[in-house]
Structure 1
Amino acid sequence: MLDQTSLTISQGKAHGSGDASDPTPPTDLPWYLGMEYGEADLLYGADRRLRGGSLPALVEILTQHTSLDTAFNQSFLLTYRAVISSTELIRQLLRRFSLPPPPNLSPEDLTEWSLHKQGIIRLRVFNILRLWVETYCIPEVDAEAMELLHHFALTDLQHWGKDRMDRVKDPMAGAATTSGVRPMILNISQQAPSPILPRNLQGLRIVDIDPLELARQLTLLDAAAFVRISYNDFLSRARSARHRVPSSPSSSPSDQSPPSFAGMGRQLTGMIESTNHLTHFIIAMILAEEEIRWRCTVIKHFILVAEKCRQLNNYNSLMAILAAFSSAPIHRLKRTWEFVTGKAVSTLEGLKKLMNPSRNYAEYLQVLHSVNPPCVPFPGVFMQHLAFIDYGNEDYITDHPGLINVYKMLQRAQVVREIQLFQSVPYALSHVPEIQALLREGLRLRMDETVAFERSTLLEPKERDDEKIARLLQESGFL
């Protein structure tokens, strides 16, 4: 887990970057080389860490000429959409680029200001704009911001240098064909293990597939879905319960809509739906068996698959399988569960303990933070953490109107970095088209919850206590 100090700036010292960054200018600088913001524009906590800042002041820190803090810059760009729109950000950056000199400077001082302040600021603004275009721009949401930037590239930037203008304009052309932030993908060379295949792939059934290979194929499907999710999808989902973001310092925090999340969340929704379909598929498979021993066989098979998912660090499919077992139609099959004994029971109990939601999934998170990728985490925990951050902290400092809550931005960024870490390492596993086709076919099927419960009660009607005692005595040979 990322250390909190790697995500914050303190007054007088930066944390989390290799450069010595300081949002306050050195005291020995001439006044005209100082920072533009005033004392009221930034708020520090008792620990001297930055708590809040006005948007112009934060943009100034983002592009400050005295130092550079890459950790703060990344955190800001990762999470700004929850507070301001891309259009507002680009406008502030363009104002920063066009910073005029102070009045009444001597020719010597003006030359020094141009060289040691204006020139560096413009380079920093240019680098932030280029980074935004290449990494953070979402064309279907950011059309207005991109239009501003396009106009800037054809006007002000031309006067600054044609080579720099081309370097901004070229990525803009590429951004128009992309679909948002690309996750970091490492090109890791690793030999995939040979698939474990049944002798005959014709007429294949799920229970005929080796549990490890079935877990591998589920993991490949899950990993492909997870890596397609933009971190903004997670931020958007966390915000959906509280439609409020002030678009200006005078706005009320409770009656604004998120400015930059429109249309997001489709990939995350798709993965959630696929996970739910896996749960319903397993429920339907168990209930399809008329005889107890075959229902027991299906349950034991998926307990083994769940354990293999754990070994593969696929906590998403693991959670889906456990959800099927704990669903009302399956959990109530007491006669079936009586035949699930021995190692299968102990394995299942261990998996339930691992994914227990008590104490905010404390045991699962302890394992997750020590796991070596590749890994497919359970997305619900990330959504829960981001929702807690959103509910527990206002976007603007309550007792300092107009100051954006920087601490909240850094908390969000910490979760986002963890998501990106797990998206960055691919699995070295071989696709088995026949198994994946079987899974995809099954995932399209869904048994209605009412139908599933009715089927469950038909297979095992509810027994009175005396009926259960008589049945157990008969099955044990006493009657």
Structure 2
Amino acid sequence: MERTAGKELALAPLQDWGEETEDGAVYSVSLRRQRSQRLSPGEGSGGRQVHNPAADAFLYYRTSKVRALRAAPLERLVRELVFGDREQDPSFVPAFLATHRAFAPTARVLGLLLPPPPPPLPQGSVPRGNLHVANPHTGHFLHCLRVEIKKTEGRDLSFNKNLRAVVSVLGCWLRDHPQDFWDPPAHPDLGSVRTFLGWAAPAGVEAREAEKLLGDFLEEAEQRQEEEQPQVWAGLMGAAQIPGSDPPENCLEEVQEGLELLDFSLDEVAEQLTLTDVELFSRVRPCECLGSVWSQRDRPGAIGTAPSVRATVTQFNMVTGCVLGSVLGEPGLATPQRAQRIEKWIRIAQRCRELRNFSSLRAILSALQSNPLYRLKHCWGAVSREPLSIFRKLSKIFSDENNHLSSREILFQEEATEGPQEEDRHPGSLPSKLPPGPVPYLGTFLTDLIMLDTALPDMLEGDLINFEKRRKEWEILAHIQQLQKRCQSYCLSPCPPILAALRAQRQLSEEQSYRVSRVIEPPAASCPSSPHVQRRISLTKRLSAKLSRERGSSPCGSAGDPSSPTSSLSPGSPLSSPRMRDPPGSPPASPGLQHPNTKDSEARVIRVSIDNDHGNLYRSILLTSQDKAPSVIQRALQKHNVAQPWARDYQLFQLLPGDKELLIPDNANVFYAMSPAAPGDFMLRQKEGARHTTSISPT
């Protein structure tokens, strides 16, 4: 059989090989296949091998082994920061720095990473050999760090490559995640870094970066003290303030001129919405989007948790509230007038689409699709045909079909192009220079991260940190950071009157919106004139279908904890329903709770809290039809960081409407023992006579 010259084999360049265990750490092993050039054994000029033309009829490949750390104790993870091979595993350092707050605070990592300063040199003495540095608080691996101390003309210290690796890690940390060191008033973690860099690299860019960061922190603290009113995010004119708070005095003066929000042109409103969304999204700290961080925002004392993400939620809810308030808030409007307002909001949404602002686009569509507006058949019947067509087209962007595939594909296309296609513009739109972007809908990423946190365990068997989970989270966080860089090139100028009108627009609560809607149009059997749009389906159904296709199980052996979902778990849901608040203890981004039927089993996501002084702190776990009470209790305690040997001292209760509780028997199958009609909220309560006291250590 003859081989065709230059014909490559249809093999993947990277193939999974298996796992390796080394010093208590688990590595995933892959084989990398690379094309190699065939050389003749003879030597050419300069003693080098020469190309053999006879070898062109064949392709030669070489295979190399690639290892990536999958699970390890914290000390080993920090060791990998210093001694790891960045060529083989280039994503380890950025993934660790972006996600470490989910399993270790900054001070703990620095305690393991930073070696102590060398002892002072006696006057007139010159060191010989190497100085072994050992810190009992930094782990055994720092015994390997050696500091070569030499005297030079500038009396600088030269250090070996291990210390250079530590300095390099700190440089990336200071540059990419400066807020990790914010701890007023003294900022002790930043002080530790400055002390280390002061003797290890006093003239390096890292030391200058640390000094500059300290100056920025002190300046920011002074600015916060000078502020008269607290804001969700400094620098935005009321757009990031808490809904319901009074707008600034100068804004009130401009609003009193008589201009309402919809009195401005649709281009002006869309551009100001985009400007606000760009500023808020650019300031989002990716680590605050982690499911383990974002899910703690409702626990007692966590008001300040994830402030940058909260600001985007506030803005999203304010936009939906403006839509509801402008259409429903005026009791004396006739049906054609309300229809005109609906049409204008559709036009504004289309302009947001042209500006590639998917955040406000989603907020406007959520309001128009909400029940108080969606049920107004007479108003929708008076809407012109062209706006209705635009509305249906825009609604397809956020269709739930195929796991929100449409919105994800459109976002990917927008990242790869200079602007939306011509067919995406509605007739009569004003030509303008499209800014870069896009501005994504953050709720999609938040839901992805929450579902990852729910589906994958934090710890594996042997008290190993599941770093493979952190890699998957990092893939999403890296995408957020990439989009943030794209948003820096927007060129939009603020317009105070429009921002003031946004703040002054009447806001309606969920109950108020529905009550006003029923007054405008009494309840009817159906709403045939309302536009038909896709309704949302259960997030849990999509997650369960995704997990049912996974092969194997996690090393921890817990039922319902899949080893590794596919590279992209992609459910999506709004940050919260437009101006519709969940009851206390029920965050807006929590997954849906329904009984999905999957190919191999049935599953649903449940939320489990502990009956103690920590209030409504809960953890989400995946419950399958095979899970019995002991395994559910054990996994819930693991999520709450409670010692596992005490699992037998707990009972599981399902919380029912009307302050009722359903006791799940000790050996019952939880999936079939619980009430299917009730929400998936559960509580763990200690049995009478339990000897220990629950102690939760938040991650």
- TM-score above 0.5: yes
1:224 deviates by 1.6
Report the residue type matching 2:162 in the other structure.
I
Structure 2 contact 194–211 (Cα < 8 Å) conserved: no
1:210 deviates by 2.5
State whether structure 2 residue 328 is matched by structure 1 residue 241: no
Question: Which residue does the alignment assign to 2:597?
Answer: none
Structure 2 contact 458–466 (Cα < 8 Å) conserved: yes
Q: 1:122 aligns with which of 143, 163, 170?
A: 163
1:402 deviates by 3.1
Give per-residue Cα distances to partners, 1:261-317, cap 9 Å, x unaligned.
Answer: 994312211221221122122112112252111011001111111111111111111
Q: 1:217 aligns with which of 269, 272, 276?
A: 272
CA RMSD of aligned residues (A): 3.9
Higher relative contact order (CA 8 A, sep 6+): 1
Give per-residue Cα distances to partners, 1:220-242, cap 9 Å, x unaligned.
Answer: 1211222222112212x554437
Structure 2 contact 271–492 (Cα < 8 Å) conserved: yes
Residues 1:411 and 1:142: Cα distance change in structure 2 (over 3 Å): farther
Report the residue type matching 1:460 in the other structure.
E
Aligned partner of residue 360 in structure 1, secondary structure: coil
Structure 2 contact 182–217 (Cα < 8 Å) conserved: no
Residues 1:168 and 1:281: Cα distance change in structure 2 (over 3 Å): closer
Structure 1 contact 389–412 (Cα < 8 Å) conserved: yes
Residues 1:173 and 1:455: Cα distance change in structure 2 (over 3 Å): closer
Question: Which residue does the alignment assign to 1:379?
Answer: 442
Residues 1:457 and 1:96: Cα distance change in structure 2 (over 3 Å): same
Structure 2 contact 267–348 (Cα < 8 Å) conserved: yes
State whether structure 2 residue 192 is matched by structure 1 residue 208: no
Aligned partner of residue 369 in structure 1, secondary structure: helix
In percent, how many aligned pairs have the same letter?
Answer: 25
Question: Which residue does the alignment assign to 2:479?
Answer: 418
C-alpha distance in 2 between matches for 1:263 and 1:280: 23
1:352 deviates by 1.1
Q: 2:312 aligns with which of 265, 271, 288?
A: 271
Question: Map of 1:93-242 to 2, 5 A cutoff?
Answer: 93-95=113-115, 100=132, 119-138=160-179, 142=183, 147=188, 150=191, 154=195, 160=200, 162-163=202-203, 167=208, 170-171=211-212, 173-174=214-215, 176-177=217-218, 203-235=258-290, 238-241=292-295
State whether structure 2 residue 96 is matched by structure 1 residue 86: no
Residues 1:139 and 1:58: Cα distance change in structure 2 (over 3 Å): closer
Structure 2 contact 25–69 (Cα < 8 Å) conserved: no
1:343 deviates by 1.5
Structure 2 contact 15–30 (Cα < 8 Å) conserved: no
C-alpha distance in 1 between matches for 2:378 and 2:326: 17
Structure 1 contact 278–320 (Cα < 8 Å) conserved: yes
State whether structure 2 residue 109 is matched by structure 1 residue 55: no
1:392 deviates by 1.5
Structure 1: give runs of 5+ residues left out of the alignment: 13-23, 25-36, 103-111, 181-200, 244-256, 469-479
1:172 deviates by 5.6
1:320 deviates by 1.2
Aligned partner of residue 357 in structure 1, secondary structure: coil
Give per-residue Cα distances to partners, 1:130-187, cap 9 Å, x unaligned.
Answer: 4334442436755799536635755x7666565459547624633633779xxxxxxx
Q: 1:326 aligns with which of 340, 360, 369?
A: 369
Aligned partner of residue 413 in structure 2, secondary structure: coil
Residues 1:168 and 1:342: Cα distance change in structure 2 (over 3 Å): closer
Question: Which residue does the alignment assign to 1:73?
Answer: 93
Q: Which has the higher helix share?
A: 1
Report the residue type matching 1:132 in the other structure.
W
Q: 2:457 aligns with which of 394, 418, 425?
A: 394
C-alpha distance in 1 between matches for 2:189 and 2:181: 15
State whether structure 2 residue 358 is matched by structure 1 residue 295: no
Report the residue type matching 2:368 in the other structure.
F
C-alpha distance in 2 between matches for 1:456 and 1:379: 29
Report the residue type matching 2:341 in the other structure.
V
Taking structure 1 as the reference length, what is the TM-score of the superposition? 0.69
Structure 1 contact 11–49 (Cα < 8 Å) conserved: no
C-alpha distance in 2 between matches for 1:321 and 1:160: 54
1:127 deviates by 2.3
C-alpha distance in 1 between matches for 2:114 and 2:108: 10
C-alpha distance in 1 between matches for 2:310 and 2:202: 43
Residues 1:81 and 1:463: Cα distance change in structure 2 (over 3 Å): closer
Structure 2 contact 102–292 (Cα < 8 Å) conserved: no
C-alpha distance in 2 between matches for 1:178 and 1:57: 37
Taking structure 2 as the reference length, what is the TM-score of the superposition? 0.49
C-alpha distance in 1 between matches for 2:316 and 2:257: 26
Q: Give the number of aligned pairs.
A: 385
Q: 1:434 aligns with which of 486, 497, 505?
A: 497
Residues 1:178 and 1:271: Cα distance change in structure 2 (over 3 Å): farther
Structure 1 contact 139–178 (Cα < 8 Å) conserved: no
Residues 1:80 and 1:440: Cα distance change in structure 2 (over 3 Å): same
C-alpha distance in 1 between matches for 2:186 and 2:465: 21
Q: 1:403 aligns with which of 464, 468, 471?
A: 464
1:382 deviates by 0.8
Report the residue type matching 2:337 in the other structure.
W
C-alpha distance in 1 between matches for 2:187 and 2:25: 28
Runs of 4+ in 1 over 6 A off after TM superposition: 8-12, 96-99, 112-115
C-alpha distance in 1 between matches for 2:525 and 2:458: 56
State whether structure 2 residue 489 is matched by structure 1 residue 446: no
Aligned partner of residue 44 in structure 1, secondary structure: strand
Report the residue type matching 1:207 in the other structure.
L
C-alpha distance in 2 between matches for 1:449 and 1:177: 42
Structure 2 contact 346–391 (Cα < 8 Å) conserved: yes
Residues 1:430 and 1:82: Cα distance change in structure 2 (over 3 Å): same
Report the residue type matching 1:415 in the other structure.
I
Give per-residue Cα distances to partners, 1:236-263, cap 9 Å, x unaligned.
Answer: x5544379xxxxxxxxxxxxx9xxx994
Question: Map of 1:313-352 to 2, 5 A cutoff?
Answer: 313-352=356-395
Question: Map of 1:245-256 to 2, 5 A cutoff?
Answer: none
1:367 deviates by 0.8
C-alpha distance in 1 between matches for 2:379 and 2:84: 70
1:46 deviates by 6.6
Structure 2 contact 70–468 (Cα < 8 Å) conserved: yes
C-alpha distance in 2 between matches for 1:46 and 1:203: 67
State whether structure 2 residue 353 is matched by structure 1 residue 310: yes
Residues 1:367 and 1:145: Cα distance change in structure 2 (over 3 Å): farther
Residues 1:402 and 1:172: Cα distance change in structure 2 (over 3 Å): farther
Residues 1:462 and 1:163: Cα distance change in structure 2 (over 3 Å): closer
Residues 1:376 and 1:179: Cα distance change in structure 2 (over 3 Å): farther
1:403 deviates by 2.5
Aligned partner of residue 179 in structure 2, secondary structure: coil
Report the residue type matching 1:211 in the other structure.
L
Report the residue type matching 1:61 in the other structure.
E
Q: Which moved more, 1:280-289 or 1:128-137?
A: 128-137
Report the residue type matching 1:234 in the other structure.
C
C-alpha distance in 2 between matches for 1:89 and 1:362: 38
C-alpha distance in 2 between matches for 1:118 and 1:10: 38
C-alpha distance in 1 between matches for 2:71 and 2:289: 23
C-alpha distance in 2 between matches for 1:344 and 1:120: 64
Structure 2 contact 17–30 (Cα < 8 Å) conserved: no
Aligned partner of residue 368 in structure 1, secondary structure: helix
Question: Which residue does the alignment assign to 1:472?
Answer: none
Q: Which moved more, 1:214-223 or 1:455-464?
A: 455-464
Q: Which has the higher strand share?
A: 2
